[in-house]
């Protein structure tokens, strides 16, 4: 697929790299960029040559959340329904990331605020530049955290820390985000994209179906009790055990060689 003005798209070595591209407004979302990202994630799901996705931002920021120019009255008209913006722009993106049965690695190159922070927290593995920061800025506008923030953040850090993040809206460093378990790792800014791309390329050579089934089972765990989750694991293992990659993994183990996975 091709790039758009607000979303740069590049595919190489099984990795689809999506770059939010509105650097003049710190990659804040407007309708066009949200729609482009939704389309790109659909492409990633449908294209078997895509075996991992990288999400990052152009310029000095990752994503500053919603472009407020679209969330204010136009020409004296009524206040836009922000709930409808959430439904149309952000919810489809989060659902697509979580349902995408391929790894999604997020490279946070700068400020991640509001929906931008929660977008990063919803990805499978997130690595931030040392200079990057996160802020749940909704309280400053009298709003509530969206883009799955109220779902993932309490599960990642606990209720007390999540409440403090939401109510106080204080900026958090990348190092603190790592120490709290909100992200996987921190890297020097000059090395961020090389680090993330190397990880994504390595993931793209592995058993993609196994990753997808693992992600499916993890998603199911958020709403299951133990008995139900054990059943999910058994079913996912049944499916994994019937993949070509599982057969290749076993053969490679027995033949004492590196496996060559095809993602099927």
User: Considering only the top CATH level, what class is 208-254?
Assistant: mainly alpha
Phi, psi of 66 (to 5 degrees): -75, 135
Domain ranges of the chain: 7-203, 208-254
Kind of pairing between the strands at 172-173 and 61-63: unpaired
pLDDT at 152: 98
Question: Which tens digit of pLDDT belongs to each residue from 98-132?
Answer: 999 999 999 999 999 999 999 999 999 999 999 99
Cα three-residue angle 224-97-179, rounded to 5 degrees? 75
Fold agreement between 7-203 and 208-254: no
Instruction: Provide, rounded to the nearest whole percent, the portion of the chain with pLDDT above 90.
Output: 94
Count the helix, strand and coil residues of the chain and give each as a percent rounded to the nearest 5: 50, 15, 35
CATH fold for the domain made of 7-203: 2-enoyl-CoA Hydratase; Chain A, domain 1 (3.90.226)
Question: Which tens digit of pLDDT belongs to each residue from 137-174?
Answer: 999 999 999 999 999 999 999 999 999 999 999 999 99
């Amino acid at each position: 697929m091709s790039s758009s003005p607000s979303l740069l798209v590049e595919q190489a070595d099984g990795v689809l790299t999506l770059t939010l591209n509105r650097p003049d407004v710190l990659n804040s979302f407007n309708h066009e960029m949200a729609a482009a990202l939704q389309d790109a994630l659909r492409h990633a799901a449908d294209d078997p040559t895509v075996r991992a996705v990288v999400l990052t931002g152009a310029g000095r920021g990752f994503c500053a959340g919603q472009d407020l120019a679209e969330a204010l009255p136009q020409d004296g008209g009524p206040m836009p329904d922000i709930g409808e913006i959430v439904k149309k722009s952000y919810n489809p993106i989060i659902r697509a990331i979580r349902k995408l049965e391929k790894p999604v690695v997020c490279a946070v190159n700068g400020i991640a605020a509001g929906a931008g922070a929660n977008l990063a927290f919803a990805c499978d593995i997130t690595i931030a530049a040392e200079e990057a920061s996160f802020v749940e800025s909704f309280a400053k506008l009298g709003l509530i955290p969206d883009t799955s923030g109220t779902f993932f953040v309490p599960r990642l850090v606990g209720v007390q820390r999540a409440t403090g993040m939401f109510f106080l809206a204080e900026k958090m460093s990348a190092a603190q985000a790592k120490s709290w378990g909100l992200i996987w790792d921190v890297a020097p800014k000059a090395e961020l994209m090389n680090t993330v791309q190397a990880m994504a390329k390595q993931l793209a050579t592995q058993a993609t179906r196994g990753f997808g089934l693992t992600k499916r089972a993890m998603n199911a765990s958020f709403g299951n009790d133990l008995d139900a989750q054990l059943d999910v694991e058994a079913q996912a293992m049944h499916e994994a055990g019937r993949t070509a990659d599982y057969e290749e993994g076993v053969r490679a183990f027995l033949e004492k060689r590196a496996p060559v996975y095809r993602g099927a």
